[in-house]
DNA sequence: CGTTCGATTGATGTCAGTCAACCCGAGTGG
DNA sequence: CCACTCGGGTTGACTGACATCAATCGAACG
Protein backbone atom coordinates (compact mmCIF):
# COMPACT_ATOMS: atom_id res chain seq x y z
CA UNK A 1 0.00 0.00 0.00
CA UNK A 2 2.93 2.34 0.46
CA UNK A 3 4.42 2.20 -2.98
CA UNK A 4 5.87 5.67 -3.49
CA UNK A 5 7.29 5.39 -6.97
CA UNK A 6 4.28 3.99 -8.79
CA UNK A 7 0.66 4.46 -8.02
CA UNK A 8 -0.36 0.85 -7.97
CA UNK A 9 -3.56 1.23 -6.02
CA UNK A 10 -6.11 1.20 -8.79
CA UNK A 11 -9.06 2.16 -6.67
CA UNK A 12 -7.64 5.58 -5.87
CA UNK A 13 -5.95 6.29 -9.12
CA UNK A 14 -9.06 5.60 -11.08
CA UNK A 15 -11.19 8.13 -9.37
CA UNK A 16 -8.97 10.88 -8.21
CA UNK A 17 -7.70 12.69 -11.21
CA UNK A 18 -10.92 12.67 -13.16
CA UNK A 19 -13.00 13.68 -10.18
CA UNK A 20 -10.72 16.47 -9.11
CA UNK A 21 -10.79 18.25 -12.40
CA UNK A 22 -13.45 20.84 -13.15
CA UNK A 23 -13.29 20.15 -16.87
CA UNK A 24 -14.82 16.71 -16.31
CA UNK A 25 -17.52 17.93 -13.97
CA UNK A 26 -20.02 17.56 -16.79
CA UNK A 27 -19.66 13.79 -16.63
CA UNK A 28 -21.44 11.49 -14.22
CA UNK A 29 -19.90 8.67 -12.18
CA UNK A 30 -20.47 6.07 -14.88
CA UNK A 31 -18.94 8.13 -17.62
CA UNK A 32 -15.97 8.96 -15.45
CA UNK A 33 -15.37 5.30 -14.81
CA UNK A 34 -15.42 4.56 -18.51
CA UNK A 35 -12.61 7.05 -18.90
CA UNK A 36 -10.20 5.42 -16.54
CA UNK A 37 -8.91 3.00 -19.10
CA UNK A 38 -7.68 5.90 -21.20
CA UNK A 39 -5.59 7.34 -18.44
CA UNK A 40 -1.92 6.75 -17.94
CA UNK A 41 -0.63 7.40 -14.45
CA UNK A 42 2.80 8.88 -13.91
CA UNK A 43 4.85 9.80 -10.88
CA UNK A 44 7.54 12.46 -11.00
CA UNK A 45 10.21 13.06 -8.42
CA UNK A 46 11.05 16.52 -7.18
CA UNK A 47 13.13 18.31 -9.78
CA UNK A 48 12.11 15.96 -12.58
CA UNK A 49 11.21 17.63 -15.86
CA UNK A 50 7.88 16.46 -17.29
CA UNK A 51 8.59 17.99 -20.68
CA UNK A 52 10.83 20.68 -22.09
CA UNK A 53 10.12 23.71 -24.21
CA UNK A 54 9.97 22.77 -27.85
CA UNK A 55 9.40 19.10 -27.20
CA UNK A 56 6.67 17.27 -29.01
CA UNK A 57 3.64 16.74 -26.82
CA UNK A 58 0.90 14.27 -27.46
CA UNK A 59 -1.13 14.33 -24.31
CA UNK A 60 -2.94 16.38 -21.77
CA UNK A 61 -1.58 16.37 -18.20
CA UNK A 62 -3.73 16.56 -15.12
CA UNK A 63 -2.17 16.90 -11.69
CA UNK A 64 -3.43 14.44 -9.15
CA UNK A 65 -1.33 15.74 -6.33
CA UNK A 66 1.90 17.66 -6.00
CA UNK A 67 3.12 20.82 -7.67
CA UNK A 68 4.59 21.65 -11.04
CA UNK A 69 6.16 24.88 -12.23
CA UNK A 70 5.97 25.95 -15.86
CA UNK A 71 8.76 28.22 -17.07
CA UNK A 72 10.68 29.53 -20.04
CA UNK A 73 14.22 30.73 -20.52
CA UNK A 74 15.13 34.01 -22.18
CA UNK A 75 18.06 34.13 -24.59
CA UNK A 76 20.36 35.33 -21.82
CA UNK A 77 19.33 32.36 -19.72
CA UNK A 78 16.99 34.10 -17.32
CA UNK A 79 14.14 31.92 -16.14
CA UNK A 80 10.59 33.21 -16.09
CA UNK A 81 8.08 31.13 -14.18
CA UNK A 82 4.62 31.36 -15.75
CA UNK A 83 2.51 29.04 -13.64
CA UNK A 84 2.58 27.01 -10.50
CA UNK A 85 0.21 24.17 -11.18
CA UNK A 86 -1.24 22.14 -8.36
CA UNK A 87 -3.91 19.57 -7.65
CA UNK A 88 -6.64 19.58 -10.27
CA UNK A 89 -4.85 21.82 -12.75
CA UNK A 90 -4.29 20.68 -16.31
CA UNK A 91 -1.79 21.69 -18.96
CA UNK A 92 -0.61 20.67 -22.40
CA UNK A 93 -3.90 21.79 -23.89
CA UNK A 94 -2.26 23.71 -26.71
CA UNK A 95 -1.53 20.48 -28.45
CA UNK A 96 -4.97 19.02 -28.27
CA UNK A 97 -6.01 20.33 -31.63
CA UNK A 98 -2.92 21.28 -33.49
CA UNK A 99 0.47 19.68 -33.53
CA UNK A 100 2.55 22.21 -31.76
CA UNK A 101 5.67 22.32 -29.71
CA UNK A 102 5.43 22.78 -25.98
CA UNK A 103 5.71 26.49 -25.20
CA UNK A 104 7.47 26.01 -21.87
CA UNK A 105 9.28 23.63 -19.56
CA UNK A 106 7.44 21.89 -16.76
CA UNK A 107 9.20 20.57 -13.68
CA UNK A 108 7.91 18.90 -10.53
CA UNK A 109 8.47 21.00 -7.40
CA UNK A 110 7.84 17.98 -5.19
CA UNK A 111 6.75 14.39 -5.60
CA UNK A 112 3.93 14.70 -8.07
CA UNK A 113 1.37 12.28 -9.43
CA UNK A 114 -0.13 13.13 -12.77
CA UNK A 115 -2.60 11.60 -15.20
CA UNK A 116 -1.98 11.70 -18.91
CA UNK A 117 -4.63 11.38 -21.58
CA UNK A 118 -3.51 11.02 -25.15
CA UNK A 119 -4.53 13.69 -27.60
CA UNK A 120 -6.41 11.14 -29.66
CA UNK A 121 -8.43 9.76 -26.76
CA UNK A 122 -9.16 13.22 -25.55
CA UNK A 123 -10.47 14.30 -28.90
CA UNK A 124 -12.80 11.34 -29.00
CA UNK A 125 -13.98 12.28 -25.56
CA UNK A 126 -14.64 15.80 -26.75
CA UNK A 127 -16.75 14.51 -29.60
CA UNK A 128 -18.75 12.30 -27.32
CA UNK A 129 -19.26 14.91 -24.61
CA UNK A 130 -19.26 18.39 -26.15
CA UNK A 131 -19.88 19.93 -22.73
CA UNK A 132 -16.26 19.18 -21.94
CA UNK A 133 -15.37 21.65 -24.65
CA UNK A 134 -17.36 24.34 -22.91
CA UNK A 135 -15.66 23.53 -19.63
CA UNK A 136 -12.30 23.89 -21.31
CA UNK A 137 -13.25 27.24 -22.80
CA UNK A 138 -14.25 28.31 -19.33
CA UNK A 139 -11.01 27.11 -17.79
CA UNK A 140 -8.94 28.77 -20.49
CA UNK A 141 -10.85 32.01 -20.02
CA UNK A 142 -9.99 31.94 -16.36
CA UNK A 143 -6.37 31.30 -17.15
CA UNK A 144 -6.39 34.21 -19.56
CA UNK A 145 -7.81 36.45 -16.89
CA UNK A 146 -5.03 35.43 -14.52
CA UNK A 147 -2.40 36.15 -17.16
CA UNK A 148 -3.93 39.52 -17.92
CA UNK A 149 -3.75 40.41 -14.24
CA UNK A 150 -0.14 39.28 -14.08
CA UNK A 151 0.70 41.53 -17.00
CA UNK A 152 -1.03 44.44 -15.35
CA UNK A 153 0.90 43.79 -12.16
CA UNK A 154 4.22 43.56 -13.95
CA UNK A 155 3.52 46.69 -15.94
CA UNK A 156 2.08 49.00 -13.33
CA UNK A 157 2.93 47.76 -9.84
CA UNK A 158 6.08 48.24 -7.79
CA UNK A 159 8.22 45.27 -6.84
CA UNK A 160 7.01 45.57 -3.26
CA UNK A 161 3.46 45.17 -4.42
CA UNK A 162 4.32 42.21 -6.63
CA UNK A 163 6.10 40.56 -3.73
CA UNK A 164 2.99 41.04 -1.60
CA UNK A 165 0.74 39.66 -4.30
CA UNK A 166 2.93 36.58 -4.69
CA UNK A 167 2.79 35.96 -0.94
CA UNK A 168 -0.95 36.43 -1.04
CA UNK A 169 -1.27 33.94 -3.87
CA UNK A 170 0.82 31.37 -2.03
CA UNK A 171 -1.19 31.96 1.12
CA UNK A 172 -4.44 31.34 -0.74
CA UNK A 173 -3.18 28.22 -2.46
CA UNK A 174 -0.94 26.67 0.15
CA UNK A 175 -1.61 28.48 3.41
CA UNK A 176 -3.04 27.02 6.59
CA UNK A 177 -4.87 29.07 9.21
CA UNK A 178 -3.24 28.97 12.63
CA UNK A 179 -3.78 30.84 15.85
CA UNK A 180 -0.93 33.25 15.12
CA UNK A 181 -1.62 33.78 11.44
CA UNK A 182 -1.52 32.03 8.08
CA UNK A 183 1.32 29.55 7.77
CA UNK A 184 2.55 29.24 4.20
CA UNK A 185 4.65 26.37 2.90
CA UNK A 186 6.53 28.09 0.07
CA UNK A 187 6.45 26.20 -3.20
CA UNK A 188 9.53 28.02 -4.48
CA UNK A 189 12.99 28.97 -3.26
CA UNK A 190 13.94 32.64 -3.04
CA UNK A 191 15.38 32.34 -6.51
CA UNK A 192 12.14 30.73 -7.69
CA UNK A 193 10.07 33.54 -6.25
CA UNK A 194 12.42 35.98 -7.95
CA UNK A 195 11.93 34.29 -11.31
CA UNK A 196 8.20 34.32 -10.75
CA UNK A 197 7.83 38.04 -10.10
CA UNK A 198 10.69 39.10 -12.35
CA UNK A 199 13.35 40.40 -9.96
CA UNK A 200 16.62 39.05 -8.55
CA UNK A 201 16.90 36.67 -5.61
CA UNK A 202 18.70 39.35 -3.55
CA UNK A 203 15.76 41.68 -3.95
CA UNK A 204 13.40 38.96 -2.75
CA UNK A 205 15.57 38.48 0.33
CA UNK A 206 15.60 42.16 1.08
CA UNK A 207 11.87 42.65 0.60
CA UNK A 208 11.08 39.68 2.81
CA UNK A 209 13.39 40.96 5.54
CA UNK A 210 11.68 44.31 5.26
CA UNK A 211 8.25 42.76 5.62
CA UNK A 212 9.52 40.93 8.69
CA UNK A 213 10.90 44.14 10.18
CA UNK A 214 7.52 45.74 9.65
CA UNK A 215 5.88 42.89 11.51
CA UNK A 216 3.83 41.72 8.55
CA UNK A 217 5.41 38.28 8.27
CA UNK A 218 7.68 35.96 10.18
CA UNK A 219 10.30 34.07 8.21
CA UNK A 220 10.66 30.48 9.44
CA UNK A 221 13.69 28.94 7.84
CA UNK A 222 13.81 28.87 4.06
CA UNK A 223 10.62 27.01 3.35
CA UNK A 224 7.98 28.58 5.54
CA UNK A 225 6.53 31.98 6.19
CA UNK A 226 4.00 32.93 8.82
CA UNK A 227 1.81 35.79 7.69
CA UNK A 228 0.82 37.85 10.71
CA UNK A 229 -1.10 40.57 8.90
CA UNK A 230 -2.98 39.48 5.81
CA UNK A 231 -4.74 42.84 5.53
CA UNK A 232 -1.58 44.67 4.58
CA UNK A 233 -0.95 42.21 1.77
CA UNK A 234 -4.53 42.47 0.59
CA UNK A 235 -4.07 46.21 0.22
CA UNK A 236 -1.83 45.50 -2.77
CA UNK A 237 -4.74 44.93 -5.09
CA UNK B 1 -22.64 54.18 -50.77
CA UNK B 2 -20.39 56.47 -48.81
CA UNK B 3 -22.17 56.49 -45.50
CA UNK B 4 -19.42 56.75 -42.92
CA UNK B 5 -21.38 56.70 -39.71
CA UNK B 6 -23.53 53.66 -40.27
CA UNK B 7 -22.79 50.63 -42.38
CA UNK B 8 -25.97 50.57 -44.39
CA UNK B 9 -24.72 48.45 -47.24
CA UNK B 10 -26.14 45.10 -46.32
CA UNK B 11 -24.27 43.14 -48.98
CA UNK B 12 -20.89 43.91 -47.43
CA UNK B 13 -21.81 43.93 -43.80
CA UNK B 14 -23.44 40.55 -44.03
CA UNK B 15 -20.43 38.76 -45.30
CA UNK B 16 -17.45 40.54 -43.94
CA UNK B 17 -17.29 39.95 -40.25
CA UNK B 18 -18.27 36.32 -40.35
CA UNK B 19 -15.91 35.55 -43.20
CA UNK B 20 -12.96 37.34 -41.69
CA UNK B 21 -13.02 35.45 -38.45
CA UNK B 22 -11.14 32.20 -38.07
CA UNK B 23 -13.58 30.91 -35.48
CA UNK B 24 -16.26 30.61 -38.13
CA UNK B 25 -14.04 28.99 -40.71
CA UNK B 26 -15.72 25.68 -39.95
CA UNK B 27 -18.94 26.94 -41.51
CA UNK B 28 -19.75 26.94 -45.21
CA UNK B 29 -21.23 29.82 -47.20
CA UNK B 30 -24.79 28.77 -46.55
CA UNK B 31 -24.34 28.45 -42.83
CA UNK B 32 -22.58 31.79 -42.68
CA UNK B 33 -25.47 33.42 -44.44
CA UNK B 34 -27.93 31.98 -41.98
CA UNK B 35 -25.97 33.69 -39.24
CA UNK B 36 -26.24 37.17 -40.56
CA UNK B 37 -29.64 37.77 -39.03
CA UNK B 38 -28.13 37.26 -35.60
CA UNK B 39 -25.56 39.94 -36.04
CA UNK B 40 -25.84 43.51 -34.89
CA UNK B 41 -23.56 46.00 -36.60
CA UNK B 42 -22.04 48.88 -34.72
CA UNK B 43 -19.76 51.74 -35.61
CA UNK B 44 -17.52 53.42 -33.06
CA UNK B 45 -15.74 56.72 -33.44
CA UNK B 46 -12.12 57.18 -32.49
CA UNK B 47 -11.86 57.45 -28.72
CA UNK B 48 -15.26 55.92 -28.11
CA UNK B 49 -15.42 53.33 -25.34
CA UNK B 50 -17.12 50.08 -26.38
CA UNK B 51 -17.45 48.90 -22.82
CA UNK B 52 -15.81 49.60 -19.50
CA UNK B 53 -14.18 47.37 -16.93
CA UNK B 54 -16.81 45.91 -14.65
CA UNK B 55 -19.68 46.55 -17.01
CA UNK B 56 -22.16 43.84 -17.77
CA UNK B 57 -21.50 42.24 -21.14
CA UNK B 58 -23.96 40.15 -23.04
CA UNK B 59 -22.36 39.71 -26.41
CA UNK B 60 -19.31 38.74 -28.34
CA UNK B 61 -17.59 41.46 -30.37
CA UNK B 62 -15.91 40.85 -33.69
CA UNK B 63 -13.93 43.60 -35.38
CA UNK B 64 -14.83 44.16 -38.99
CA UNK B 65 -12.32 46.90 -39.54
CA UNK B 66 -10.52 49.40 -37.38
CA UNK B 67 -8.59 49.01 -34.15
CA UNK B 68 -9.51 48.67 -30.52
CA UNK B 69 -7.30 48.76 -27.46
CA UNK B 70 -8.13 46.80 -24.33
CA UNK B 71 -6.75 48.17 -21.08
CA UNK B 72 -7.08 48.27 -17.32
CA UNK B 73 -6.25 50.87 -14.71
CA UNK B 74 -4.22 50.19 -11.61
CA UNK B 75 -5.28 51.67 -8.28
CA UNK B 76 -2.88 54.56 -8.76
CA UNK B 77 -4.45 55.28 -12.13
CA UNK B 78 -1.75 53.85 -14.37
CA UNK B 79 -3.09 52.39 -17.58
CA UNK B 80 -1.91 49.00 -18.78
CA UNK B 81 -2.79 48.10 -22.36
CA UNK B 82 -3.37 44.39 -22.76
CA UNK B 83 -4.34 43.99 -26.39
CA UNK B 84 -4.58 45.87 -29.61
CA UNK B 85 -7.37 44.17 -31.48
CA UNK B 86 -7.74 44.61 -35.20
CA UNK B 87 -9.63 43.19 -38.15
CA UNK B 88 -10.88 39.67 -37.49
CA UNK B 89 -10.15 39.64 -33.76
CA UNK B 90 -12.89 38.89 -31.28
CA UNK B 91 -13.34 39.69 -27.60
CA UNK B 92 -15.91 39.50 -24.87
CA UNK B 93 -15.65 35.73 -24.86
CA UNK B 94 -15.36 35.49 -21.08
CA UNK B 95 -19.04 36.13 -20.81
CA UNK B 96 -20.19 33.55 -23.25
CA UNK B 97 -20.67 30.90 -20.65
CA UNK B 98 -20.77 32.58 -17.32
CA UNK B 99 -22.20 35.89 -16.31
CA UNK B 100 -19.13 37.87 -15.56
CA UNK B 101 -18.06 41.46 -15.54
CA UNK B 102 -15.83 42.73 -18.29
CA UNK B 103 -12.23 42.44 -17.13
CA UNK B 104 -11.02 45.52 -19.02
CA UNK B 105 -11.98 48.64 -20.90
CA UNK B 106 -12.12 48.66 -24.68
CA UNK B 107 -11.76 51.82 -26.73
CA UNK B 108 -11.67 52.44 -30.48
CA UNK B 109 -8.31 53.77 -31.67
CA UNK B 110 -9.87 54.86 -34.96
CA UNK B 111 -13.19 54.60 -36.72
CA UNK B 112 -14.11 50.99 -36.08
CA UNK B 113 -16.88 48.75 -37.35
CA UNK B 114 -17.75 45.81 -35.18
CA UNK B 115 -20.26 42.97 -35.20
CA UNK B 116 -22.01 41.90 -32.05
CA UNK B 117 -23.58 38.52 -31.44
CA UNK B 118 -25.63 38.03 -28.34
CA UNK B 119 -24.50 35.48 -25.83
CA UNK B 120 -27.71 33.53 -26.29
CA UNK B 121 -27.49 33.34 -30.06
CA UNK B 122 -23.86 32.41 -29.86
CA UNK B 123 -24.56 29.57 -27.48
CA UNK B 124 -27.18 28.21 -29.80
CA UNK B 125 -24.67 28.41 -32.60
CA UNK B 126 -22.18 26.50 -30.50
CA UNK B 127 -24.69 23.74 -29.91
CA UNK B 128 -25.48 23.49 -33.57
CA UNK B 129 -21.88 23.58 -34.75
CA UNK B 130 -19.59 22.12 -32.09
CA UNK B 131 -16.59 22.69 -34.33
CA UNK B 132 -16.86 26.36 -33.51
CA UNK B 133 -16.05 25.40 -29.93
CA UNK B 134 -12.85 23.78 -31.08
CA UNK B 135 -11.95 26.86 -33.07
CA UNK B 136 -12.48 28.98 -30.01
CA UNK B 137 -10.28 26.75 -27.91
CA UNK B 138 -7.64 27.10 -30.57
CA UNK B 139 -7.95 30.89 -30.68
CA UNK B 140 -7.85 31.13 -26.90
CA UNK B 141 -4.78 28.91 -26.80
CA UNK B 142 -3.05 31.26 -29.19
CA UNK B 143 -4.03 34.23 -27.10
CA UNK B 144 -2.67 32.47 -24.02
CA UNK B 145 0.60 31.86 -25.78
CA UNK B 146 0.84 35.54 -26.65
CA UNK B 147 0.17 36.53 -23.06
CA UNK B 148 2.76 34.07 -21.79
CA UNK B 149 5.32 35.61 -24.10
CA UNK B 150 4.40 39.09 -22.95
CA UNK B 151 4.92 38.03 -19.35
CA UNK B 152 8.28 36.54 -20.19
CA UNK B 153 9.27 39.76 -21.96
CA UNK B 154 8.17 41.93 -19.06
CA UNK B 155 9.93 39.71 -16.55
CA UNK B 156 13.23 39.02 -18.24
CA UNK B 157 13.83 41.54 -21.02
CA UNK B 158 15.26 45.04 -20.86
CA UNK B 159 13.14 48.01 -21.83
CA UNK B 160 15.17 48.38 -25.04
CA UNK B 161 14.24 44.89 -26.02
CA UNK B 162 10.58 45.40 -25.19
CA UNK B 163 10.55 48.56 -27.26
CA UNK B 164 12.03 46.64 -30.18
CA UNK B 165 9.49 43.87 -29.79
CA UNK B 166 6.61 46.34 -29.74
CA UNK B 167 7.90 47.94 -32.95
CA UNK B 168 8.26 44.51 -34.48
CA UNK B 169 4.72 43.65 -33.55
CA UNK B 170 3.37 46.87 -35.04
CA UNK B 171 5.42 46.28 -38.18
CA UNK B 172 3.97 42.80 -38.58
CA UNK B 173 0.41 43.92 -38.00
CA UNK B 174 0.32 47.35 -39.56
CA UNK B 175 3.52 47.69 -41.61
CA UNK B 176 3.77 48.16 -45.35
CA UNK B 177 6.84 47.17 -47.35
CA UNK B 178 8.43 50.05 -49.22
CA UNK B 179 11.66 50.50 -51.14
CA UNK B 180 13.39 52.11 -48.17
CA UNK B 181 12.05 49.82 -45.48
CA UNK B 182 8.89 48.91 -43.61
CA UNK B 183 6.57 51.87 -43.06
CA UNK B 184 4.55 51.53 -39.88
CA UNK B 185 1.43 53.49 -39.08
CA UNK B 186 1.55 53.54 -35.29
CA UNK B 187 -1.73 52.52 -33.63
CA UNK B 188 -0.76 54.25 -30.38
CA UNK B 189 0.66 57.55 -29.20
CA UNK B 190 3.97 57.60 -27.34
CA UNK B 191 2.02 57.45 -24.13
CA UNK B 192 0.03 54.52 -25.49
CA UNK B 193 3.18 52.65 -26.39
CA UNK B 194 4.48 53.41 -22.92
CA UNK B 195 1.36 51.96 -21.32
CA UNK B 196 1.65 48.95 -23.55
CA UNK B 197 5.20 47.97 -22.62
CA UNK B 198 5.03 49.25 -19.06
CA UNK B 199 7.37 52.26 -19.05
CA UNK B 200 6.92 56.05 -19.10
CA UNK B 201 6.30 58.12 -22.21
CA UNK B 202 9.64 59.88 -21.78
CA UNK B 203 11.44 56.58 -21.91
CA UNK B 204 9.64 55.69 -25.13
CA UNK B 205 10.74 59.00 -26.61
CA UNK B 206 14.34 58.44 -25.62
CA UNK B 207 14.48 54.88 -26.87
CA UNK B 208 12.97 55.87 -30.20
CA UNK B 209 15.45 58.73 -30.60
CA UNK B 210 18.22 56.32 -29.80
CA UNK B 211 17.03 53.86 -32.41
CA UNK B 212 16.93 56.70 -34.89
CA UNK B 213 20.48 57.76 -34.00
CA UNK B 214 21.59 54.19 -34.55
CA UNK B 215 20.02 54.24 -37.99
CA UNK B 216 17.56 51.47 -37.21
CA UNK B 217 14.43 53.56 -37.72
CA UNK B 218 13.35 56.92 -39.07
CA UNK B 219 10.74 58.83 -37.10
CA UNK B 220 8.22 60.51 -39.40
CA UNK B 221 6.11 62.86 -37.37
CA UNK B 222 4.20 61.40 -34.45
CA UNK B 223 2.21 58.77 -36.26
CA UNK B 224 4.63 56.99 -38.54
CA UNK B 225 7.91 55.18 -38.29
CA UNK B 226 10.03 53.84 -41.10
CA UNK B 227 11.97 50.76 -40.08
CA UNK B 228 15.24 50.68 -41.97
CA UNK B 229 16.75 47.59 -40.36
CA UNK B 230 14.28 44.89 -39.39
CA UNK B 231 17.07 42.44 -38.57
CA UNK B 232 18.21 44.39 -35.52
CA UNK B 233 14.68 44.34 -34.15
CA UNK B 234 14.34 40.64 -34.86
CA UNK B 235 17.43 40.02 -32.75
CA UNK B 236 15.35 40.92 -29.70
CA UNK B 237 13.73 37.51 -29.55
C1' DC C 1 33.30 17.81 10.98
C1' DG C 2 33.66 19.68 6.58
C1' DT C 3 31.45 20.58 2.26
C1' DT C 4 27.88 22.55 -0.28
C1' DC C 5 24.09 25.18 -1.61
C1' DG C 6 20.85 28.59 -0.62
C1' DA C 7 20.06 32.84 1.78
C1' DT C 8 21.52 37.18 3.59
C1' DT C 9 23.86 41.53 3.84
C1' DG C 10 26.63 45.29 2.20
C1' DA C 11 28.84 48.37 -1.32
C1' DT C 12 28.54 50.20 -5.76
C1' DG C 13 26.86 51.21 -10.43
C1' DT C 14 23.31 51.87 -13.70
C1' DC C 15 19.12 52.76 -15.72
C1' DA C 16 14.48 54.22 -15.78
C1' DG C 17 11.32 57.39 -13.29
C1' DT C 18 10.44 62.04 -12.00
C1' DC C 19 10.27 66.85 -12.56
C1' DA C 20 10.73 70.62 -15.34
C1' DA C 21 11.62 73.28 -19.37
C1' DC C 22 10.95 73.68 -24.03
C1' DC C 23 9.41 72.59 -28.76
C1' DC C 24 6.15 72.16 -32.37
C1' DG C 25 1.99 71.70 -34.98
C1' DA C 26 -3.02 72.11 -34.93
C1' DG C 27 -6.85 74.72 -33.79
C1' DT C 28 -9.07 78.87 -32.35
C1' DG C 29 -10.31 83.47 -32.09
C1' DG C 30 -9.35 88.19 -32.69
C1' DC D 1 -3.25 86.77 -41.10
C1' DC D 2 -1.29 86.57 -36.82
C1' DA D 3 -1.21 85.69 -31.82
C1' DC D 4 -2.56 82.44 -28.47
C1' DT D 5 -3.45 78.31 -26.53
C1' DC D 6 -3.31 73.53 -25.97
C1' DG D 7 -1.81 68.80 -26.31
C1' DG D 8 1.62 65.74 -27.40
C1' DG D 9 6.46 65.12 -27.92
C1' DT D 10 11.28 65.81 -26.79
C1' DT D 11 15.25 66.78 -23.96
C1' DG D 12 18.03 67.49 -19.79
C1' DA D 13 19.20 67.13 -14.76
C1' DC D 14 18.50 64.65 -10.85
C1' DT D 15 17.11 60.85 -7.92
C1' DG D 16 16.04 56.49 -6.29
C1' DA D 17 15.47 51.74 -6.74
C1' DC D 18 16.96 47.56 -8.40
C1' DA D 19 20.84 44.87 -10.41
C1' DT D 20 25.28 43.50 -9.81
C1' DC D 21 29.30 41.99 -7.47
C1' DA D 22 31.26 40.19 -3.47
C1' DA D 23 31.64 38.51 1.19
C1' DT D 24 29.57 35.97 4.80
C1' DC D 25 26.31 33.15 7.05
C1' DG D 26 23.94 29.04 8.14
C1' DA D 27 21.40 24.92 7.65
C1' DA D 28 21.40 20.28 5.49
C1' DC D 29 23.80 16.30 4.47
C1' DG D 30 27.22 13.05 3.80
To the nearest whole angstrom, how far is the Cα of B107 from the nearest Cα of chain A? 17
Percent of chain A with pLDDT over 90: 69
User: pLDDT value at position B200?
Assistant: 97
Name the pTM for this structure. Answer: 0.92
Indicate if the pLDDT at residue A6 is higher than 70. Answer: no
CB contact under 8 A, A156 and B80: yes
Describe the strand order of the beta sheet including B49-51 as a list of residue ranges: B49-51, B105-108, B67-73, B79-86
Which three-class secondary structure state does DSSP give residue A172?
A: helix
A132-186 residue pLDDT tens: 888 899 999 999 999 999 999 999 999 999 999 999 999 999 999 999 999 999 9
d(CA B66, CA B89): 10
User: pLDDT value at position A112?
Assistant: 93
Mean pLDDT, 10 residues at a time, over chain B (237 residues)? 41 62 84 85 92 92 93 94 94 84 94 92 88 89 96 97 97 94 96 97 97 96 95 91
Indicate if the pLDDT at residue A8 is higher than 70. Answer: no
User: pLDDT value at position A213?
Assistant: 95
Pick from B134, B203, B236 the residue to mutate for testing the A interface (most A CBs within 10 Å): B134
CB contact under 8 A, A133 and B138: no
Indicate if the pLDDT at residue A188 is higher than 70. Answer: yes
Chain B, 64 to 123: residues with Cβ < 8 Å from chain A are 72, 74-76, 78-80, 82, 93-94, 96-98, 103-104
The angle at the Cα of A90, spanning A85 to A95, to the nearest 5 degrees, equals 120
Q: What is the mean pLDDT of residues A193-200?
A: 97
Near-strand C residues (CB closer than 7 A)? A 189-191, 201-202, 204-206, 208-209, 219, 222; B 158-160, 198-200, 202-203
CB contact under 8 A, A103 and B138: no
Packing angle of the helix pair B130-156, A130-156 (nearest 10 deg): 20
Estimate in Å the CA A7 to C1' D26 gap, whole number. Answer: 38
More confident residue, A60 or B5: A60
Q: What are phi and psi of A185, to 5 degrees?
A: -90, 110
- pLDDT range class, residue A31, cuts 50, 70, 90: confident
- pLDDT range class, residue A14, cuts 50, 70, 90: very low
Size of the A and B interface in Cβ pairs below 8 Å:
112
Indicate if the pLDDT at residue A3 is higher than 70. Answer: no
User: pLDDT value at position A16?
Assistant: 63
Mean pLDDT of chain A: 89
Q: Which nucleotide is nearest to B202 (CA to C1')?
A: D10
User: pLDDT value at position A15?
Assistant: 53
Residue A209 Cβ < 7 Å to strand D: no
Pairing of strands A67-73, A105-108: antiparallel
How many helices (H) does chain B have, and how many strands (E)?
8, 12
Amino acid sequence: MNNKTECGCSSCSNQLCTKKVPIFSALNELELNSMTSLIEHKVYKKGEVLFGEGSHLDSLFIINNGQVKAYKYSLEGKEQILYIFSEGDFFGEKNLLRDQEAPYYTEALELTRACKISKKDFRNLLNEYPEIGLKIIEALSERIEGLENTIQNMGTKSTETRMNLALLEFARKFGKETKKGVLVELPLSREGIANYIGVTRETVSRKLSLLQDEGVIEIIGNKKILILDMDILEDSY
